[in-house]
Amino acid sequence: MKRQKNDAADAEAICEAAMRPTMRFVPVKSEATQGAAMVFRIRELLIRQRTQAINALRGHLTEFGQIVPQGAANSARLIAIVEDPDSGLPADAIATLKVLVAALSHLETEIGTLDAEIARRAKENDVARRLMTVPGIGPLIATAIAVLAPPPEAFRKARDFAAWLGLTPRQHSTGGKQRLGATTKMGERSLRRLLIIGANSVIIKRHVHAAARPGTWLGRMLTRKPPMLVRVALANKMARIAWALLARGGVYQSPAGAA
């Protein structure tokens, strides 16, 4: 057992790891790819800031008896209360809360600008257009996969790509007994979250998706499994389909259409 940590020991460990035949390495991204990925990082940052502003505004209004449900969809109600002269809020509080309202409005505008930029890139990117043929994958998810995902050659099969995203159960098996836990949450966090959101949109609008009709795989899962488990399972399936399109080309064909 090698003991102590220093630069020489670190360099030796790196060389030792690099010589192992089964070692997996992180693919190097070009500057162009990193630049294209910045739009998603900045968008996530602005969304977090918007959530903080909404929560702060909602919390302050609650202190004055103005109760508004949680969620970004109710931000307009919060702003309307602050701007209503008959809301009964103290004048000093209104002056301060309008600072949050201005910040929230600015964040909404900037997020909309980034969403428009992402939609423009999705129309111009051939890979993103092909990915958008998959149910649940829109311009945001398609562009994110095209930019943030490693090359398909980095994975031997679609299951490896789904495992890299952290959409597979964590294993803690020993003694011939297989124990599976929660999802590993490895890999690209943004892609995993977006795929789960896309899967959720398919489940919410299952009445318009042929893949969610009764008798299909998704339809049977919805009747037998907890809702969140079905969302993650569908996100896993969407990830494997996306890898197949990246690796083999073509567009998505539903099972009914393929038959």
DSSP letter string, 108-169: HHHHHHHHHHHHHHHHH-HHHHHHTTSTT--HHHHHHHHHHSPPGGGSSSHHHHHHHTT-SE
Total Cβ atoms within 10 A of residue 49: 16
The answer for residues whose C-beta is within 8 angstroms of residue 103's C-beta and 6 or more apart is 53
Res 138: pLDDT: 94
Q: Are residues 256 and 132 part of one domain?
A: yes
Res 161: pLDDT: 93
**Location of structure tokens 């969302």:** 231
Q: Are residues 130 and 120 part of one domain?
A: no
Residue 77's domain spans which residues? 35-124
Q: Are residues 236 and 216 part of one domain?
A: yes
Tell me the per-residue pLDDT of 100-122, one tens digit each, with 9 for 90 and over: 999 999 999 999 999 999 999 99
Q: Is the pLDDT of residue 257 over 60?
A: no
Res 162: pLDDT: 93
Res 259: pLDDT: 42
**pLDDT class for 256, splitting at 50, 70, 90?**
low
Q: Is the pLDDT of residue 258 over 60?
A: no
R_g over Cα of the chain: 23
Within a domain: residue 53? yes
Res 69: pLDDT: 92
**pLDDT class for 58, splitting at 50, 70, 90?**
very high
Does the global pTM surpass 0.85?
A: no
Q: Are residues 150 and 48 part of one domain?
A: no
Q: How many domains, the chain?
A: 2
Q: Are residues 117 and 147 part of one domain?
A: no
Q: Are residues 215 and 89 part of one domain?
A: no
Q: Across all residues in the chain, what is the average pLDDT?
A: 90
Tell me the per-residue pLDDT of 203-255, one tens digit each, with 9 for 90 and over: 888 887 777 788 888 888 988 999 899 999 999 999 999 999 999 999 998 76
Res 206: pLDDT: 82
Please identify, among 106, 124, 142, the residue that sits at the C-terminal boundary of a domain: 124
Tell me the per-residue pLDDT of 140-198, one tens digit each, with 9 for 90 and over: 999 999 999 999 998 999 999 999 999 988 888 888 888 888 888 888 889 999 999 99
Res 33: pLDDT: 87
